[in-house]
């Protein structure tokens, strides 16, 4: 098994939108966006909408969390991967499944009942906090950064 070339893992409950599909891929030099989300993996309409905002030359894959963990080590060396998930729990599931994630960029987590806002674009509940703490306990750096030219803020300071 080879080590996949994962450039960054991003948490964004919107998954792929212009900021991810163009700005982040361009900044990172990514040529593959891997959306690891059980719902999106089974929704071709949502996939088509997301594909519309991806820069030319960047491929997309839509896998369930379990399939991502199953196939990530088969990625070719030439694939420069940006993984996008909806929640910190999803990222933790990937890590527990053997996906070698080193750092997490938190872009957007919408406010909802039971959540508290910790940053302009990030709201968390107890499950999110527990997942972030577990990820950091595993040595994975988690920071909030909406766009590449922004200075990242460690999420641990805000929990």
Q: Which of 103, 78, 94 is nearest to 35 (CA)?
A: 94
17 is catalytic: yes
Q: How far apart are CA 15 and CA 107, in angstroms?
A: 10
Phi first, then psi: what are they for 118, rounded to 5°? -115, -10
Q: How far apart are CA 90 and CA 109, in angstroms?
A: 13
Q: Which of 75, 117, 123, 65 is nearest to 96 (CA)?
A: 65
Phi first, then psi: what are they for 57, rounded to 5°? 90, -5
Task: Identify the H or E element spanning 94.
Answer: helix 88-96
DSSP state of 31: S
- Catalytically annotated residues: 17
């Amino acid at each position: 098994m080879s080590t996949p070339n994962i450039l960054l893992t991003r948490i964004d409950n919107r998954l792929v939108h212009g900021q991810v599909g163009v700005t982040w891929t361009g900044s990172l030099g990514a040529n593959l966006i891997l959306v690891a989300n059980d719902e999106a993996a089974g929704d071709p309409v949502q996939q088509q909408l997301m594909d519309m905002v991806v820069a030319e030359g960047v491929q997309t894959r839509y896998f369930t969390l379990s399939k991502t963990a199953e196939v990530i080590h088969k990625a070719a060396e030439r694939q420069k991967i940006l993984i996008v998930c909806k929640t910190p729990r999803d990222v933790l599931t990937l890590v527990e499944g053997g996906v070698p994630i080193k750092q997490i960029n938190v872009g957007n987590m919408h406010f909802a009942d039971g959540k508290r806002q910790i940053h302009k674009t990030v709201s968390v509940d107890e499950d999110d906090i527990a997942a972030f703490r577990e990820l950091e306990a595993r040595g994975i750096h988690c920071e909030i950064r909406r766009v590449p030219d922004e200075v990242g803020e460690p999420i641990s300071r805000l929990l």
